[in-house]
Amino acid sequence: MEFDSVFLYTALAVGVLTICTVLKRVNGWFYSIKFSSKEYRVPPGDMGWPFIGNMLFFFRSFKLGGDLGTFISYFVTRFGAGGMYKSFMFGKPSVIITTPEIVRKVLMDDDNFDLGFPQYLRDLLGQEPTGGTTIQEDKLIRRLTAPIKNHISLSSYFDCIKKIAKSSFEKWADMGEPIELFAEMRRPAFDVLMQVLIGGDQVAPHLLDMVFKQNSYRFSGLHSLPINFPGFAYNKALKARTEIVKVYEEIINERKAMIANTKGEPRTNLLDTMLDTQDDGEGTKLRDGNIVKTLLWYTFGGYESVARVATKAIMHLERNPEFYQKAKEEQEDIIKRRSSPNDGLNFDEISQMKYLSKVINETLRMGSTETVLFREANTTVNVNGYSVPKGWKFLTLLGKFHMDPNVYVKPKEFNPSRWDDLDKPASFLPFGIGPKMCPGANLVRLEVSVFLHYYILYYRIEQLSPKSEMETCVARIKKI
């Protein structure tokens, strides 16, 4: 009887192990058979479990390491340092890229790759209008949004950025009460973005407040399970997107009359520019749905990053007095070079902030370790000797590059001075690269530079919990 029990439990254990092993390989077998013709030569790798693929391992590594090093190491250790590995991520067969050379090749290829965001994220960002976005419309939108990428063109927003930064610090200091620094920093960054996107000073304050509030729900949905059911954050985020669409549609309808009555006048924000150029002269029409989608996408990613980088830079400088002192000396030197001590910060002085630029670089490097860049093959494409099928996603995890000890000595240490001899290596990609890189990269740098200028010269923070996480820091802003 005892022998029978041992045999039963052993057989059960072997059976469970066999089932798990088979299930673990089903995904790989399925896609290997599906793409086994001579037309394809997919990279080595592990497709993970059916339906969920490698996502459990991905999220577990994310929680453990933050920089996803464990996740990447698994593929490199098991399949060699080839730089490309098949996987199953976010519901799609995918290729994980681990070398900057291949990443740059993919990101620069605008003909064979589209943005490859997972569907749940695309739904949060903004649904396509009926009929989708044509290639011609996409190119027109990119042309119209080019001024946001151009550092010189951004000079037209400089006074607005300066005014908002100054008034925000003054308000926080006058309060005398502790504030949650990152949460408070989000509003002035939002106000700048609204001025750039829709001319915030032309919009009723209650509409701006509604967009800000609802967009906060969209961010909460981004960091939650994509379960579209009442009571879940993702469901609330989708409803928030719908509310923002209503606001933007109302603003667009009001603005059209103004545009019609002011033909030929210069446009000072993206919305007016898009409404004034709905036809590119070659028959390409920019529909209202695409204008709304563009505003939704830019609203989602256009101010959170500014607030995050500015907050983290302030915290890093506070925790490293020697770097704070260097940054302060540079800002004081800029003031000394002015023709009059009463002159305020001007746009040309931003280019003189060499050390502050290194502070921002270092903050971006350390602050983007959780960033995933997505692309999707719009045709069967050859990359690094492999033929990857149409529809497969390409993913790269910036933590693999930005925390590489072979490039950045002691990568977990904040050290702006490392950039003295480090001329932006190929692995430094905080905003991506190529035609589809983040269009707000220069706007982020400009805003953060202005915020840090005023903070370093005129304010300090008094932390209530010095060891708290940067994004939950509660502190008083004190004028010096």
Give the pLDDT confidence of 110-128 residue by residue, as tens digits. 899 988 888 888 888 876 6
**Euclidean distance between CA atoms 250 and 70, whole angstroms:** 48
Taking the chain, what is the end-to-end CA distance rounded to the nearest angstrom?
83
Q: Measure the CA–CA gap between 317 and 329, rounded to whole angstroms.
A: 13
pLDDT band with cut points at 50, 70 and 90 for residue 133: low
What stretches of 302-346 show up as alpha helix (H) in DSSP? Answer: 304-319, 321-336
pTM greater than the 0.85 cutoff:
yes
**What pLDDT is attached to residue 329?**
97
Closest CA to 368 of 429, 415, 411, 418: 429
Question: Hey, is 433 helix, strand or coil?
Answer: coil
Sign of the dihedral defined by the CA atoms of residues 13, 15, 18, 24, in that order: negative
Q: What are phi and psi of 45, to 5 degrees?
A: 160, -165
For residue 279, list its beta bridge partners: 285
Identify the three-state secondary structure at position 301. Answer: helix
Find the mean pLDDT for residues 83-89. Answer: 92
Q: What DSSP string describes 182-214?
A: HHHHHHHHHHHHHHHHH-GGGS-HHHHHHHHHH
Q: Could you read off the pLDDT of 437-479 as tens digits, one per residue?
A: 888 899 999 999 999 999 999 999 988 877 777 777 888 999 9
- Name the packing angle between helices 304-319 and 321-336 (round to 10°): 110
User: Pick from 131, 124, 270, 280: which is nearest to 194 by CA?
Assistant: 270
Q: What is the pLDDT of residue 38?
A: 62
Beta bridge partners of 117: none
**pLDDT recorded at residue 159:** 94
Residue 306 has pLDDT above 50, yes or no: yes
Residues 6+ apart with CB under 8 A from 121: 222
pLDDT digits (tens, 9 = 90+) for 172-200: 999 989 999 999 999 999 999 999 999 99
**Is 438 annotated among the ligand-binding residues?**
yes
Q: How far apart are CA 65 and CA 273, in angstroms?
A: 44
Question: Are the CB atoms for 200 and 211 separated by under 8 Å?
Answer: no
